[in-house]
Every structure is written in C-alpha cells, then in structure tokens.
Structure 1
Amino acid sequence: MGTVQHGDRDIQGWQGIALAVAACAAVTLLCLPLANLLAPANIVMLFLLTVLLVAVRLGLSAALVAAFLSVALFDFFFVPPRFSFEVSDGQYLVTFAVMLVVAVVTSTLAANLRRNALASALEARRARALYEMARELSGALTMAQVAEITRVFLRNVMNAEGDVLLHDTQAGFRSCAENAPPSLRIEPALALIAFERGEPVRCNPLAGSGSAALYLPLKAPMRMRGVIAVAPLENSAAELTDMQAQQERLGTMASLVAIAIERVHYVEVAQRSQVDIVSERLRSSILSALSHDLRTPLTALVGLADSLVEYRPPLAMPARETAMAIRDQSEYLAGLVTNLLDMARLHAGKVTLRKEWQPIDEVIGSSIKLLGRALAGHAVRVRRGGDLPLVEFDAVLIERVLCNLLENAAKYSPPDQDIGIEVALQDDCLAVSVVDRGPGFPGEAGDSIFEMFVRGEHESTRAGVGLGLAICRAIVEAHGGSIRAMNRPEGGGCVSFSLPLGTPPALDEEPTGLEEAS
C-alpha cells in the first residue's frame, strides 16, 4: 500500500514566495537584453505567463506576490524613463492596472484549479488505497494482521497513527496488534463511550501529547467488536481538520476492519470446533476398538470366576472367597467396558431407538431386580404421583439409565440408608427422580457432571471413570428429554430426567360378558 501525499507540502509558505520572486527576477534578466527588440506588450505577456506558471505550481499566495512584483519590475526596468518608478506616459498607468488585474485573476483561477486538481487526485489515491486495504483484509488470517493492515493504511493514507482495540467485558480494551504503537495514548473512557453508543467520539488533545483524537466504533454484522483509536502524526490544527473532513472515509475503513475481525473470529471458532470434532471422533473410535477387544476376555473371565464360586463340591473357604472377589472385580470391569462401548456407540449415532408405548413401572421394577447385589443394604422406595399414562420409550435404554442412577445412589449413600424413586407428571413430561442421602454434588459442578470422564470432588476414593451420567444424558436426550442434577435441601443428591408424554394410541375396549353371550 503506497503512501498518499496530502498536497505539495514541500513547496509552501516562504519557500513558495521565494521561488516566485526568483521566477520574476529570471524573466526580468531574460528580457533586459531584449528590451530594444521586444515591444512592451510582449514583455507584459512574458510576465503574465510567469504569474500563471507560478499560480499553477506554487499556489495562490506566491502567485499574488508574483503579480505585484511583475508590475513593479516592468515599470522599473522597461517603462521610460527606465530604472525608475516615474512614468512619462500616462497610458502606462492603464497598462499597469490591466496587467495587475489580469495577473491577479489568472493567478486566482489557476490556483483554485490546481487546488481542486490536487484534492481530486488525493481523493482518488485515498479511494484506491481503501480498495487495496479491503483486498488485504479479505486475506488476513489473524487479528494481528488486521491491526497491522489498519495501521499501515492510517499512516500512509491519513498521515495518522492508530490502533485496533477489542473489547472484553472483564479485561476492558486490549490491543490486538502484536506491537501496539508506544506513542499512542488511549483514553479508556472515550473508547468506552464510542463502543457503547456506536458512534465516533472526537476530542482535541494537547499538542505533543500523543493522545488519540478520534475513536471509531467497530460495528460488525453480529455485534460491536471494539474501537479504532486514531491520532494525527503531526497533531496540528490542519491535521485535525482534515481528519474530521475524512470521517466518512474513516467510518468506511472501520466497517471493513469490523467485518474482517468478525470473519477471523468465526474462522477461529470453526477451526476450534473442527479440532474438537476430530478429537471426539478419534476418542470414540479408540474407545470402541478397546471395548471390543476387552469385552471377549472379560466375559470369559467372569464366567470362569462364577464357575469356581458354584463349583461342586464347594472349594475351601479361602479359595471360594478369592473366586468371589475375582468374579466381582471382573463384573465391575466388564461394566466399565460396556459403558465405554455404549458411549462410543451413542456418540457415533449408531444406536437405533426401539420405542414402544408402555408404563414406566415395569422398567423401574426390572432395574431394581437387575441391581440386586449393588443395592444390598439399601431399601428402594418408589413414590408415584397418581395415575401415570403410557410413555413411548426404548425400555432397554431407559432401564440402563435407571440402573446407572440407582448404582450411583447406592455407591454414595451411607450404609442402611434408603434410596428413593419419585415419578410424577410435570407439564407435558413424565419426570423420574432418583434421590439419595449421600454427600450430594459439588456446588460448582452444574451440567459439567454429565460430561464424559467428569467426576465430582467427593468421588476420588470410589471406583469409576465418570461415564455413567454421560451415558444417561445421551440416552435421555436421544428420547427428546432432559436430565439435571441437584442437591436436596435436606441433604443428599437428586438426579431427575424427563421424557415427553406425546399422544398414546387409542386402546380398543374389551367386550363385556353380556355382549359375548349375545
């Protein structure tokens, strides 16, 4: 992105006036040897041409000086009597007046034309630079690149220093550039006003303070992203005026930067999501492979240990106790492997629900029966809230949910404490809650307790890998329901899941005995 000059700053002020004087002197020296050969009218034309060239090249101030100086030099060197300001013929006074008026008018018109041409050229160069900036922003991959492109545009095009500030609700404003400009001072209060109102904020900083003079909000299509702080490099009144005049173009620049920042943000989000998806898929594949490889030898180990326990004639008591310990640990390990395999299948979406309209009571009863040894020492009390309708669900999977919840409750409940199952209607759902009198869930756990391999702080001394609740959530959500964990006011934990009721099919009424006889 090339540098855009703000006019001809190298020829201005006293330097331009000095060049105008030198030009008039050069024309005088050129015409002196030709004074006897050229008519006064032709010499006047040469001076007018000089005034015109000075106006085109050096501006209005230098042209006016050249106009008055040309009249004086023509009078002194070329009007009789020469080398004096006396005029022998009164007609030359008319010549002087016409020459001065023509010189002033032409110099004014030429200077205005020059100024307009320079302004048009500057606008064209700035528009071209803005286009190039938009093209570079479309290829930016990081926030730092966006900030650097913005700084280069401001420095080369607007003769200003700037910094892109992103807003964080906790940390406030932070520069997204790798190396923030050390000379630029930011007023957080003004930046916050521009951010909250969504409008530019202008101020007039002290000369040499390096403070930003303009704060531009970064309005992206989705939300406000931050602000751009801009300060003129020379910090002069002319620079401040030019910056205010270019506020519309600066606003366009801010819009381009905001869109680029939002695009980079969502690219980063998409990349993180893609990495998470690939990682989850890899983890599920590993779990599935390991579960299949471990399941066969574990099944054989459980069967062999159980055959030793039931061996006839019975083994000696020490050997029988060892066989029972081997069987229990093998069953526990087989349960873990089953959980891993189920979790891998659920995440891979390979589980097909076999839904049927059925009462929830049968599943509750079968779950309690399956956990005979795990529930030893704990009485399970079931409370039903009136007549319950039929619900459409997969009995095998919901039974798995209840088994996991009851097993967790038995694991963390003190010995000889009851475990409760409460079933009730809630709005358009059937809610099933499993309550215990254990230590409950850690206060900050929240929904994270249902993530894979996440366990509460009270679970470190108990066996488990943190898959039971994750499997429960996956099964319940596959049924269109929800699950949550909470602590009871009277102590203990409660895990409650809900299943949508839906509209059960109409049942045909059985005929009465009188109708059968007829």
Structure 2
Amino acid sequence: MDSPRSAAAISRRTGWRASPTPAGLAGATLFVVAAALLCLLLDDRLPSASLPLVFLAPVLVSAIRYGFWAGLLAAVLAFVGYNFLFVEPRHTLSVARPEDALALGIFLLVAAVTGVLAGRMREEADAARNRADVLEILSDFAADLSGAMRIDEIESLAMRHLSRAAGGEAVMLRPDGGRLQVVAEANLSPADLIAADRAFRRGQPQAATAAGWSGSRFSFLPLRGWDKIVAVYGVIFSETGSAEREQAVEAMMRQTELAIERVAFARDAEDARAVAEQERVRSALLSSISHDLRTPLSTILGSVTSLREFGDKMPSEARSDLLLAIEEETERLSRFVANLLAMTRLEAGLDIRREWVDAVDVAAAAVKRARKSFIGATILLDAGTAAAPIYADAALLEQVLFNLIDNAVKYSPADRPVSVTVSAGRETVEFAVLDEGCGIPMKDIDQIFEKFFRGDRVQFAGGGLGLAICRGVVTALGGKILAESPVIDDHGTRVRVILPAGAEPST
C-alpha cells in the first residue's frame, strides 16, 4: 500500500554537505537579524556577557533547520552583527581592546563548531529517516508482490513502486519483435529511446546523463526473466537522497525478477500437475474400461461357450441361468457403453434437444427401465397425478434418473425400497431419488459428482462415471444436482435434481 508520507519525506531530505538553498540562506539571515533586534531591545536589561549567547541561538537554529552552510552563514553574520552593534567602538568593525578581539575570535570559533555539530546531527537524523522511509517503501513493495499471481500484475506493481522509490517519473518498455515498445503513455525523447535500447541490448543499466548535458533524462535498468530481458524500466531519480534511492531501485529490480521467476515456477508446477492429472484420469479410465468390459464379456463368453459345447447335455434350468446371465451382462455392458457415449458428448459439447415434456412421464420411463434392469429390486414412484411440464431433453433426463436409481439400488439393502419422487413448484420441478443404504461420508459429499471418484465405502465395480454424467447433463439443462446424507437415522442418501419449470430457459 502506498505511503504518501514516506514518498514526500524522501523527496525533501537534504544532507548538510549539500549546496545551500536560497531559502536556507535567507532564513539564516532573518534569524540573525531577529537575534540582533532582540539584543538591541534588551541591551540595557541584559548583562553584556549574555549577548553572545543570544547570537548563538540563530546559529543553532539555522544549522539544524537548513544545514551546515546556513549555520556557517549564521555564524559569520552573528560574529559581524555582534561586533558591529555591541563591541566598542560600536557601529564599526574595529576592535578597541585586545580582550574584545579574543572574545570575538572565541565567539566565531564556538559559532562555527556549533554549526558543524548541528549540521552533522541533522545529517545523521536525515539519513536515519531516509533509510526508514526506503525500508517502508521496500516493505510495501514486497507485501504487494507476495499477492501478485500474474506477470503483468508484477510489472505494473514494479513501475508504480519504482516511481515512489526514485522520487520521480518511471516508465516501462517491453520488447516486441526485437524493438522496445513503451507500455504506457510517456514523454520519451529520441535520446531516452536510444539509452533504453542500449540497456536492452547490452543487458546492463544505463545511467541518466548529468545535468546540463544533452542525453537521456532517465536511468534505464533491464529486467531479466527466463534468462532473457523481458522489460526495461526507466526512472528519473530525485536530486535528494540519490544513494539510498539507487539502492532501493536496485533492490526492487531484484525482487521483481524473483517474483517473475516465482510465478513462472508456479505456472510450470501447475502445468505439471495438470499433465499428471490427465495421466491419472487416462490411467483410471483405461483401467475402468478394461475391467468393466472384461467382466461382462468374460461372463458372456463363458456362458456362450458352455451352451455351445454342453447345451444338449445340460438341464433346462442350467441353460436358462446361462441365458439369463448373458442377458444381464449384455444389459450391463450396454449401460456402460451408454455412459461412455454420454460422457463423450458432454466433453465434446453437449447437443441438447429441448422440447416440452412431462416430468412425471420421464420419471415413469426411468423407473420402468430400472425395474426391468434390476429384477428383484423394489423401486417406488411417487409422482402424483398433476402434470409437471419442463423444457428439457427427455432422453438425457431419463438417463440421469436411471443412473441415480442404478446407484441407489447398488447401495440399498435387498429388503429396502428405492424411492423416486417428483414434485412441481411455481418455478422449479424437483426429482429426488432416496435409498436406505450406508450413506455418504461428509468428507466425500462434495466429490461424488467428480469423474472416476470412488469413496471408501464403494464395494461395487464401476468406472465412477454415472454421477459425473448426471451433473453434466443437469448443468447443461440449466438446473442443479445436490446430495444429502444421512437422511434416515444416520444412514441413507437422497439425491435431488432441480430444474426450471414453467417457461423456456434462456440460452
């Protein structure tokens, strides 16, 4: 966060060895004149030995306020004023008595030493404040950099804080096709552009031309990233505190380079994680497909082989069992292939064929199909008698409900039913599939709709695609799907599908 106080404080610092300013010399003169007037007013009330002490006051004030040269001027003026106004013969610069000459010499020495000491104290105080302000700017810059996650954000922060640290204007140029292009609007002269290009091609800082000479006003510093120059920054340093400013700017450039490397490393790590995740998904998919295809195919192949070789010798019940196994595994294989095709459609961009359908009819079709596929399972439908029109793809919605029923049947006890309900409101139609199985752990409730996710309680073979397909289809239809568990005495799961009703959704 910018600190206006710090930037202003740095810009007004002056060392005691710096050239005197007109304001400082005028202030020192006014302080001495004020001290002389005060002494004239109190001449008959103050002892003569106190007058030099009064004249020392403007020397101290001038040195502390304006620096060494102002203090030295105040010492000379105080010496002349005291001699002219209060040393006999008065109103002349001559000295009548030797002891007065000695006193004047000692006064001048004391005034000069006082001015030097005060100036040195000012220099130390200014240097300490200057360092504190620079450290504050560096701290602000580091704090802002820590939250930057993009390279363009880092470059923008660097330009803003470099301007603060240098106490002047800052510009940034970025290479484009072998030439430097100014990123933001800036008033750069041809000499500035030549100096910036020299810094870019040599990879070394280029200092600004000295005052009074023709050349670049900016000091240009190259910024490295990925073993090459990615930008060139130009700054105009303020005349005050230049050493501290240059150190601060150099430190900021190093911090910027490290921040860019950090972002680059983070991006590379993210890419590596994405590649690893793709490999994991591919491996899981191949493993799942291999298992889910091999198992029913092995059953079908074994049953067909048995019937072909021993069919005439087998009892009719055994032949019926083998035929039933072929039928069940074929349906299972068909469902698995349907899921793969549905997932392919989702990832390739689902082509939804919407039309007005009755939600009750869709639920009834899904339950009928499930009862035919899961003989022996109890599947109840509670849909009421009122129509519930929705604008959706009937085939895809039926597949969603069938997948949910399939999942519920797997985890329900054999003697407990799976319930399917349909309820219509003014703005939504809700489907709910309830089972009385073991339930879903809280830590898994938000992940069950991810592809290939299989929780700790999964005891059945499968590719982990069914619920992922459900979420993809429901999202494409403009609805949402939610899971709740437990729902019945610390067990059971309810999956809700909520779709808009009553009006054609916007596309």
TM-score normalised to structure 1 length: 0.46
Quick one: higher RCO (CA 8 Å, sep 6+), 1 or 2? 2
